[in-house]
Amino acid sequence: MPEAQFESRSPQQPSDVVATFTEPGPADVAARVAAARRAQPTWARTPPVERATVIDRAATSIQANAAELVDLVVREVGKPRVEAVGEVDRAVAILRYFAQQVLDPDGETYPSADGRAMLFVRRRPRGVVGLVTPWNFPVAIPAWKLAPALACGNSVVVKPAPQGAASSERFLSLLGDALPEGVLTSVVGGGRVGGQLVSLVDAVSFTGSTAVGRQIAVDLAPLGTPYQAEMGGQNPSIVLPDANVDHAAATIAGAAMYFAGQKCTATSRVVVVGRNRPFLDALVDRVSAIDVGDPDRSDCLCGPVIDEAARTNVVTAIADAVGHGARLLCGSATPPTGAGWYVRPTVVETDDPAAPLAQEEVFGPLCSVLHADTVEQAVQIANGTRYGLSSSIFTTDLGSVLRHLDQLQSGMIRVNAATSGVDFFAPFGGERDSNRGPREQGRAARDFFTTTATYTVAPAG
């Protein structure tokens, strides 16, 4: 059977083939996992100070090659240059942060029942960890998974998404060169390769769509393999009547539209409490002012969506919503002409929180506006999807904040701040269909990438 070939193309210039990959066959995937399995015990036994130094040296290698990686991310996934710079810088910071975690306390002691023995708990690596990652952060997402996995003494095999695979592969090969052989490898391929990888490893960390994440959860259930899955979102921002209009409008416009709305934490619903014409006008002004264009330009904030299928998906969602009575406040279902998978940033007002546009993740520069009479109703609308990744409230009333924050059913809750954005040193993750399994990043990461053993050491007599 001929092996499958993948092409990764530039979304701003689809004739530009960034890289071609040959999908590895099952024996090849198994061989890479076996190599990772052979390398892991030595890596886990490497003295902690040395392990920290090796990871830190890998960060230095990324820093030294940052300009090349930024160019590749811009070209391959159409990420605006300013955000690509931020992503690569963040990966370096993540590697340095987790390098230091190697030296954190690795357990707890307890008084023993008889007062003579030592009773303690130690963290231990899981073994070989499989990472399955999406195309939209082809450097930062592998980084925030592999850095804690390696720091905890695991070896790692990554399966990046084909649309961002050239960026992920360059990043991983720079890291791999700085690490002992076999400790970090990758396999580029489609869902079949991802499915095989997760079946062979000791723990799985996935980021991607809800459909795939749920499938992985089902596939792993009979194996009992621990996993974490961070998935899609339909993130709401609630705007209260006392909100700072300019700040709310500017922040929400950016959270919905920058990088063409292709962040899992992008704002996709704006729930406006009370008739707030000044806010709606300001939002439309801000969104209309976003210049859509070549992501390589230093002032670009909104480039193309990832591929033709993604653009079809977005324009179909806009056309369907308008066909069912939603009102177009700005933007269009007609994409700009010319090369590149561009879509105009679009805001659609609807009276129906159950409309598909207000329920499903579209992954493009598109958000809906919904209206509520009261904060309670707004919270109910905000919670009224199957997702629960990130929510925000815009208000100057501390009382409202305190009354309603805990009612929002999402993993990330923000006040007067964008739904988008991730702090790698704090726990990150969603609720409901945005998540399965424990949190990632920050100090939460090692709870997933280690297991613990409880030791009793008694005197010989």
Binding positions for ligand NAP, rule: CB under 6 A? 132-137, 159, 161-162, 190-191, 194-195, 198, 207-209, 212, 215-216, 230-233, 264, 361, 363, 389, 430
CA distance linking residue 238 with residue 415, whole number of Å: 10
Minimal CA–CA distance to 177: which of 49, 93, 58, 332? 58
Minimal CA–CA distance to 228: which of 387, 442, 437, 448? 437
Sequence-distant (6+) residues with CB within 8 A of 220 are 198, 199, 204, 227
**Radius of gyration, CA atoms only, the chain:** 23
State in angstroms the smallest separation of the CB of 293 from ligand NAP.
23
Nearer to ligand NAP, 231 or 305 (CB): 231
Angle at the Cα of 359 from the Cα atoms of 369 and 316, rounded to 5 degrees: 80
Q: Which of 76, 87, 169, 230 is catalytic?
A: 230
Nearer to ligand NAP, 138 or 254 (CB): 138
Sequence-distant (6+) residues with CB within 8 A of 332 are 318, 344, 346
Minimal CA–CA distance to 119: which of 410, 461, 453, 345? 453
CA distance linking residue 312 with residue 304, whole number of Å: 12
State in angstroms the smallest separation of the CB of 113 from ligand NAP.
43
State in angstroms the smallest separation of the CB of 19 from ligand NAP.
14
Name the burial class of residue 13, with classes exposed (0-12), middle (13-18) and buried (19+) by CB atoms within 10 angstroms of its CB.
Answer: middle
Sequence-distant (6+) residues with CB within 8 A of 215 are none
Nearer to ligand NAP, 209 or 244 (CB): 209
Nearer to ligand NAP, 137 or 449 (CB): 137
Alpha-carbon distance values, 458 to 34, 114, 124, 428, 461 (Å): 37, 10, 21, 40, 8
Minimal CA–CA distance to 413: which of 397, 425, 431? 431
Nearer to ligand NAP, 276 or 390 (CB): 390
169 is catalytic: no
Nearer to ligand NAP, 19 or 330 (CB): 19
By beta carbon distance, the residue nearest ligand NAP is 194
State in angstroms the smallest separation of the CB of 215 from ligand NAP.
5
> CA 94 from chain center: how many Å?
14
State in angstroms the smallest separation of the CB of 266 from ligand NAP.
8
State in angstroms the smallest separation of the CB of 423 from ligand NAP.
13
Q: Which of 152, 264, 300, 367 is catalytic?
A: 264
State in angstroms the smallest separation of the CB of 53 from ligand NAP.
29
Angle at the Cα of 398 from the Cα atoms of 393 and 399, rounded to 5 degrees: 100
Residue 230, helix vs strand vs coil: strand
Q: What strand order describes the sheet that includes 327-330?
A: 327-330, 346-349, 366-372, 267-273, 235-239, 390-394, 412-415
367 is catalytic: no
Nearer to ligand NAP, 268 or 400 (CB): 268
State in angstroms the smallest separation of the CB of 401 from ligand NAP.
24
Alpha helices by DSSP H, 120-226: 140-151, 165-178, 191-200, 210-220
- The catalytic residue positions are 230, 264
